[in-house]
Amino acid sequence: MSSIRIKAKDRKGLVDVKCLMKHNMETGLRKDKSGKKIPEHWIQDVTAEANGKVVFAAAFNTSISKDPYLAFAYAGAKGDTLKISWKDNTGATDSAETKVK
Amino acid sequence: MKKIIRNVAFGVIGLSVAAASVAGPEEDRQAFRKFYENRFPQVQPFGDFQNGVYSILPAAREQWEAIEEFPPYELSIERGEQIYNKTFANGKSLKDCFGEDGAVREKYPHWDKSRGMVVTMELAINECLEANGEKPLKYKKGAIADVSSYMSYNSRGQILNVEIPSDDPRALAAYEMGKEQFYTKRGQLNFACADCHMHTAGMMYRADTTSPALGHATSWPVFRSKWQEMGTLHRRFAGCHTNIRANPYKAQGEEYRNLEYFVSYMSNGLEFNGPAARK
Amino acid sequence: MALGLAMVAPVAFAGSGTTAEHIEAATAAYKQVAKETGYQWTVSVVAIKAAKKALEAGDDKLARKLAHDAMDLVEATRTQAKLESETWKMRVPK
Amino acid sequence: MDRRGVLKVAGAVTAAATALVALPRVAFAAYSEKAFKQKAGADALQNAFGANATTPSDQVKLKAPDIAENGAVVPVEVQTDMEAESIAILIKENPSPLAITAEIPAGTKALVKTRCRMGKTTQVTAVVKSGGKLYTASKEVKVTIGGCGG
């Protein structure tokens, strides 16, 4: 299952998008039980595309909370295919798609 | 450490209330509810008490509502749904115990006359697993909280209607034990549940405002920002006890089940609205 | 309950006996109060553990002091239990 | 989750950027270590937006709590009616202040909502890039530690 949950709703031509990405967002400052630093591990880039066109893009620092939440709104319509993808500092990626309601 | 001991005051505080009484549970509940209505007249409608401390703290409520836009417990509900629908080795599943969608929150906690004990939803989940040859889950967090999230979510809107059957004196005794737990001071800090969450509810303890106990049992399990994960009501009970430097009881042991029985009964009439997000 | 403690307490407070015995007395008192009243303070356990650790480290004076602290905490726990057996009822709203 | 996956995303981003050539004002910015690892907000802005002169503006709407419920999860919202190219959030007292930058292509509302970590009481600044200039709104968020909940 994708790590990304998307809710996208058309409100009179403006699509409200809310998404939650499951990710630990390790700051690199935390220590584990043995006192060793947990290496930083965080989502750096998030891109949202509607029908293949980029409608929003963000870059994160480690100061974005665990399981990052992002909300924005773009000019679109019900039925749009909305794809959201992320890439973290280890190079891992994930994406999810939904139809705008 | 001696100084700390000396500073522990054993004085009886909160004596604005009358002396011991032998009122029955229903009288208790009405007095309990009236207490909070008088203390927090701004909580309108009454049902808003189910939202815990956010019913009395507008500034915190705004942040909570922002969290609720996409609450972290949704992931827990999804995980819970998977566990709920998973087929056991014997071909059955949790559905065989709790129905197609597990919307049975309103049945718990209840008095089980045949066994002479209070049965909570988490206990029932584990008993279902064990009856079907599956391994029981740990009670405070993880999978049990996920299953409970899923079942609670599907039960949202059900009304608390905990009964204390009058034909079984043991049920009343369990209620009384929970009640005593609630009002008794414990731990080195010498606090009763009622001290923080009733007589001084809404006041600051260090950096925090205490929540009204009315509505405490409605919204579990909870994703706590402090935990950064889900936890059950009994996990929170244990956390509170540890905070006041009292050794906590065992999750799903008799003490906490009876305490849940009491606080749930006190919240009768409110809605089940779990799972929830809390500080 | 009071009788049981009366038997244990003097060991710790009389100044006689080894430190190990004092720690043992505090531990026994803790367990007894827990069993009889259900009241247990986390800090008592912390003090007992610290006393044992100090003794193992060879610091008899500190270990003895911690054992006495633990006994004080257990005493306070017992007092709390005694008081609360009745006073809790006064917190119930009418 | 392998390297090929990374390349795929990188490819998609490039393709998308190419498709937006008709909108020259959208400079497609991915994560930049130079901006996000800076210790000072002004340096971070310089590296993220090529400018660090800021003008406070009441057209920049920043929503953040006066007192954070929990410093690990503080809801922050930035919005403006200006024509915005990008939006950023700076958290002054964090080890590296720049928390997020967002690109706002034409047709997308100048709005970002997220949740941030704040280690201690701090000034939070919303930055909106509009017409090549930076406009800001700031407020203090109190972060308390200790208590039954925190």
CATH code for position A13: 2.60.40.10
C92 lies in some domain:
no
Using a 10 angstrom Cβ sphere, with 0-12 exposed, 13-18 middle and 19 or more buried, the burial of residue B167 is exposed
What does the DSSP assignment read for D29-54?
----HHHHT-SSHHHHHHHHHS---E
Amino acid, single-letter form, for residue B82: Q
A82 lies in some domain:
yes
Looking at B154, B189, B210, the residue that finishes a domain is B154
CA distance D70 to A17: 25
Residue D149's pLDDT is 54
Residue D39's pLDDT is 87
pLDDT > 90? residue B21: no
φ, ψ for residue B274, nearest 5 deg: -80, 170
B159 lies in some domain:
no
Domains held by chain A: number: 1
Closest CA to C44 of C11, C67, C17: C67
CA distance A91 to D6: 6
pLDDT > 80? residue C73: yes
Same domain, B195 and B65: yes
A90 lies in some domain:
yes
Residues A66-99 have pLDDT tens digits of: 999 999 999 999 999 999 999 999 999 999 999 9
pLDDT > 70? residue C14: no
Residue owning tokens 């500080």:
B279
Surface of B (48-107) touching D: CB under 8 A? 59-60, 62-64, 66-67, 69
CA distance C78 to C81: 5
A76 lies in some domain:
yes
Range(s) of the domain holding residue C21: 2-34+41-85
Domains held by chain B: number: 2
Same domain, B80 and B205: no
What does the DSSP assignment read for C14-53?
SS-S-HHHHHHHHHHHHHHHHHHH---BHHHHHHHHHHHH
Residues C49-68 have pLDDT tens digits of: 999 999 999 999 999 999 99
Range(s) of the domain holding residue A82: 4-27+38-95
Range(s) of the domain holding residue B101: 73-154
Q: Which residue of B has its CA nearest to D64?
A: B63
The DSSP output letter for B278 is E
Closest CA to B145 of B56, B206, B84: B84
Looking at the complex, does the CB of residue B28 fall below 8 Å from at least one CB of chain A? no
Residue A22's pLDDT is 93
Residue D51's pLDDT is 83
C77 lies in some domain:
yes
The closest CB to that of D3, out of A56, A63, A91, belongs to: A91
Q: Do A53 and D16 count as a contact with CB atoms less than 8 A apart?
A: yes
A100 lies in some domain:
no
- Whether the bond between B45 and the residue before it is cis, its omega within 30 degrees of 0, is yes
Average pLDDT per 10 consecutive residues for chain D, totaling 150 residues:
43 45 48 86 87 91 93 94 94 94 93 95 95 94 73
C91 lies in some domain:
no
Q: B195, B206, B236, B244: which to substitute to probe chain D, counting the most D Cβ within 10 Å?
A: B206
A34 CA: distance to closest CA in chain D (Å): 23
B2 lies in some domain:
no
Residues B219-263 have pLDDT tens digits of: 999 999 889 999 999 999 999 999 999 999 999 999 999 999 999
Closest CA to A86 of A57, A55, A63, A52: A57
Instruction: Dig out the tokens for A14 from the structure.
Output: 């403006």
Residue B4's pLDDT is 43
Residue C12's pLDDT is 45
Q: B189, B193, B225, B235: which to substitute to probe chain D, counting the most D Cβ within 10 Å?
A: B225
Pair B232, B139: CB distance under 8 Å: yes
Q: What global pTM score does this model have?
A: 0.84
Same domain, B185 and B265: yes
Other beta carbons less than 10 A from residue D115's beta carbon: 25
What does the DSSP assignment read for D83-146?
--SEEEEEETTSSS-EEEEEE--TTB-SEEEEEE--SSSEEEEEEEEETTEEEEEEEEEEE---
Domains held by chain C: number: 1
A53 lies in some domain:
yes
Same domain, B115 and B228: no
